[in-house]
Chains A and B, each alone.
Chain A
């Protein structure tokens, strides 16, 4: 039990440790900046949780994030209302997620390869569409999404909570979620049980893409640009968050709470290192080590339980 709670305990220890180590940590400004910084990765990671639970992986989310953000920004540039533009960002993310799912299930290609391919394709298209230039003509109000506050709490936190509840509900209380676990745990058995595995796998990728599109809009709002080069390497951070939180790349395992904890551990590590003046080079190494450590501990726990 203690080991299952280990990621959470790590998060608490990290939080308390940082509060004691530096007076700059436990301040409203700093905490909301941590939330704002991690929200983007966090929301992507929620989609990634669904995908990883179903036994898949999506390496293209960084590129999809840029594509979604760019589409939304270009819509606003053409005078389309902000909520509609956000929706456009979400839908364009969903489109690529759907494409990933479709290719994986129809061509029966390993998702690692499919999304490695779409990673290049989506990034390329994003750069072509934007001519490689960021989109700046965005209404001022749009910054509210990423930088605004509501009831004294960063608005993105509300968005994050809503997304987390939604994904949690999907995983625990819907057929889609149950099938995601079943497909991830044993795709053949799921198929034999009469589950339309291709449909549900595609749905999972599409939802992942939509969440990434939303994350793209948040990123665009924080930068106040539609940046075609945004999100590079984010896919690995999203995967890392899921894995630190107990998700298994073999499928069938993972949870929303785990992923949130995973994402916040990484967020606090990077924020804490900034506050403590640890070089960003070393930060990367620390986060890398934490990923390996987290998974090693989790494997140890599983092996103990199995025997």
Chain B
């Protein structure tokens, strides 16, 4: 056994993050670590990687009890971690990041730049990564940054590599690439611990699985002997009853129409229309221009040319402010950065886009605000202790609900959801989709960008596919993943050209 955790405990103030963390990882296996948000997966892995010390329990490394005081201690033993959010130095080069903290130095502490560069190039070439040693890390995509972290782990001769939700910000093709890398590393005898939220990718990669729930290890076993339903049951601790149900109805009139919208080189000649009561999916690889299209429609980066019609009337939207005034809402993919003021109370977040309605001459009506926030917390079942709770302390799913509540409170009728289920629990995901369904049923028009094809197939009434800044086709909601991927990737798929509903 390479790594064994016995009865690991960790508490933060009054909150117990881990009360009985158990884990056993062998060399040459991919060990999946599953659990809902807050189950203690990341805490457990931070302990293994030496980023925090446990309050109790034992860590055995190659059978010997060890104690890591800092990440460098774990690194020296051969434990490396690829983080969910990159922990690289953005202004330094790829090579400098690969060797950060273990620079190759001469007798006077002089850094041997050339040699580090060469060694970095060697690792990159060996794995056929699309990187160059001298590139600055800030220019890299999230996928590129992960590759740098992987290089770092390989180059330092690690024998255990921890991936914390590596594919959460990657496209399907990029995820495939990560799987390929993980399998190669495993076949060379490395142990891999892999945290993920995407249940559909389990079988593509894992050998064994450990499930955490509320800080405790509740299941461990061979993946081949476990069903996905069984895993979900262990994660949630109950039968998942409320499977999402879409109530389709005959769509109403066109709420949002976009004609030949362009912002070269990001996207060009995009036309689409969404009717009241419709949820239209927008599929494509990362970099296909989907997020950019949403941002353009919403006025964050206004388009270079093209027309936008709201409820049949031509509108010119040059800022989010004008978009909001036209009844649009954008739920951005990056909640922490753009969707929510995480340092402010839930109440303030809910009313943020709607202060005009509860103020007169610039003065806020506290009673009206209280009423609105309580109403939404109840109606949308937002699990907050009180309206005063700081939004950043909520779980990812609850945060997303608050971000959506803001727009419902504002009375938006056209919703642009960019990756609405990213980084949230299985249970919360269903609730978010249900909210979208409710909105559609009440006559809202919804555009849903998602890289998770099963999600799109489950939620969307029809699916538009984008490739390299153009819409390459439209598919009915009951299509297949293969069909979407074909349009998203293939050169000759653009036969259908632009689409109108």
A179 to chain B, nearest CB (A): 8
B322's nearest neighbour on chain A, judged by CB, is A194
B364, A192: Cβ atoms closer than 8 Å: no
Is A24 interfacial (CB-CB < 8 Å)?
no
A307 to chain B, nearest CB (A): 3
Apart from the given pairs A181-B344, A188-B338, 15 other A-B contacts in the complex at a CB distance below 8 Å: A174-B359, A174-B363, A175-B355, A175-B356, A178-B352, A178-B364, A179-B355, A182-B348, A189-B352, A192-B330, A192-B339, A193-B353, A252-B344, A304-B13, A305-B13
Contacts A185-B343, A185-B344: A192 and B338 contacting too (C-beta < 8 A)?
yes
A195, B340: Cβ atoms closer than 8 Å: no
Is B223 interfacial (CB-CB < 8 Å)?
no
B95 to chain A, nearest CB (A): 30
A307, B12: Cβ atoms closer than 8 Å: yes
A193, B344: Cβ atoms closer than 8 Å: no
Is B188 interfacial (CB-CB < 8 Å)?
no
Contact with A along B312-327 (1 / 0, CB 8 A): 0000000011011100
Is A196 interfacial (CB-CB < 8 Å)?
yes
Q: Which of A182, A194, A252, A304: most chain B Cβ within 10 A?
A: A194
Report chain B residues within 8 Å CB of A252: 341, 343-344
A186, B340: Cβ atoms closer than 8 Å: yes
Is B109 interfacial (CB-CB < 8 Å)?
no
Is B366 interfacial (CB-CB < 8 Å)?
yes
**C-alpha spacing A72/B346, complex, angstroms:** 45
B332's nearest neighbour on chain A, judged by CB, is A192
A194, B338: Cβ atoms closer than 8 Å: no
**C-alpha spacing A179/B353, complex, angstroms:** 10
B59 to chain A, nearest CB (A): 21
Contacts A252-B343, A253-B343: A175 and B359 contacting too (C-beta < 8 A)?
yes
Is A191 interfacial (CB-CB < 8 Å)?
yes
B468 to chain A, nearest CB (A): 26
Is A275 interfacial (CB-CB < 8 Å)?
no
Interface positions of A from 163 to 200, Cβ below 8 Å from B: 173-176, 178-179, 181-182, 185-186, 188-196
A-B contacts, 6 listed (Cβ < 8 Å): A174-B359, A185-B341, A193-B320, A193-B324, A194-B353, A252-B341
Report chain B residues within 8 Å CB of A181: 341, 344, 348
Report chain A residues within 8 Å CB of B408: none
Q: Which 6 A-B residue pairings sit nearest by Cβ, starting from the closest?
A: A194-B324, A307-B12, A185-B341, A185-B343, A193-B353, A186-B341
- CB < 8 Å neighbour of A178 from B13, B298, B348, B393: B348
Q: Which of A176, A178, A191: most chain B Cβ within 10 A?
A: A178
Is B41 interfacial (CB-CB < 8 Å)?
no
B348, A307: Cβ atoms closer than 8 Å: no
Interface positions of A from 71 to 105, Cβ below 8 Å from B: none
Report chain B residues within 8 Å CB of A191: 300, 320
Is B77 interfacial (CB-CB < 8 Å)?
no
Size category of the binding interface on chain B: 20 to 34
B137 to chain A, nearest CB (A): 22
Report chain A residues within 8 Å CB of B429: none
Contact with A along B90-129 (1 / 0, CB 8 A): 0000000000000000000000000000000000000000
Report chain B residues within 8 Å CB of A179: 355
Is B15 interfacial (CB-CB < 8 Å)?
yes
B339, A189: Cβ atoms closer than 8 Å: yes
Is B342 interfacial (CB-CB < 8 Å)?
yes
**C-alpha spacing A133/B351, complex, angstroms:** 52
Report chain A residues within 8 Å CB of B353: 193-195
Is B337 interfacial (CB-CB < 8 Å)?
yes
- CB < 8 Å neighbour of A194 from B323, B337, B362: B323
Contacts A186-B341, A190-B341, A307-B12: A176 and B362 contacting too (C-beta < 8 A)?
yes
- CB < 8 Å neighbour of B352 from A173, A182, A305, A306: A182
Report chain A residues within 8 Å CB of B401: none
Q: Which A residues are closer than 8 A to B by beta carbons?
A: 173-176, 178-179, 181-182, 185-186, 188-196, 252-253, 304-307
Contact with A along B159-173 (1 / 0, CB 8 A): 000000000000000
B330's nearest neighbour on chain A, judged by CB, is A192
A194, B344: Cβ atoms closer than 8 Å: no
Report chain A residues within 8 Å CB of B343: 185-186, 252-253
Report chain A residues within 8 Å CB of B300: 191-192
Report chain B residues within 8 Å CB of A195: 321, 352-353
Report chain B residues within 8 Å CB of A304: 13
**C-alpha spacing A188/B341, complex, angstroms:** 9
A290 to chain B, nearest CB (A): 25
**C-alpha spacing A252/B363, complex, angstroms:** 19
A196's nearest neighbour on chain B, judged by CB, is B321
A169's nearest neighbour on chain B, judged by CB, is B363
Report chain A residues within 8 Å CB of B363: 173-175
B340's nearest neighbour on chain A, judged by CB, is A189
**C-alpha spacing A196/B337, complex, angstroms:** 18
Q: Which of A178, A181, A185, A193: most chain B Cβ within 10 A?
A: A193
**C-alpha spacing A195/B330, complex, angstroms:** 13
B352, A193: Cβ atoms closer than 8 Å: yes
Is B406 interfacial (CB-CB < 8 Å)?
yes
**C-alpha spacing A176/B362, complex, angstroms:** 7
B369's nearest neighbour on chain A, judged by CB, is A178
**C-alpha spacing A278/B359, complex, angstroms:** 52
B13 to chain A, nearest CB (A): 5
- CB < 8 Å neighbour of B366 from A173, A176, A186: A173
B321, A178: Cβ atoms closer than 8 Å: no
**C-alpha spacing A178/B363, complex, angstroms:** 10
Report chain B residues within 8 Å CB of A307: 12-13, 15
**C-alpha spacing A305/B393, complex, angstroms:** 10
B170 to chain A, nearest CB (A): 22
B406 to chain A, nearest CB (A): 7
B359, A189: Cβ atoms closer than 8 Å: no
Report chain B residues within 8 Å CB of A185: 341-344
Report chain B residues within 8 Å CB of A189: 337-341, 352
**C-alpha spacing A160/B208, complex, angstroms:** 67
**C-alpha spacing A191/B332, complex, angstroms:** 12
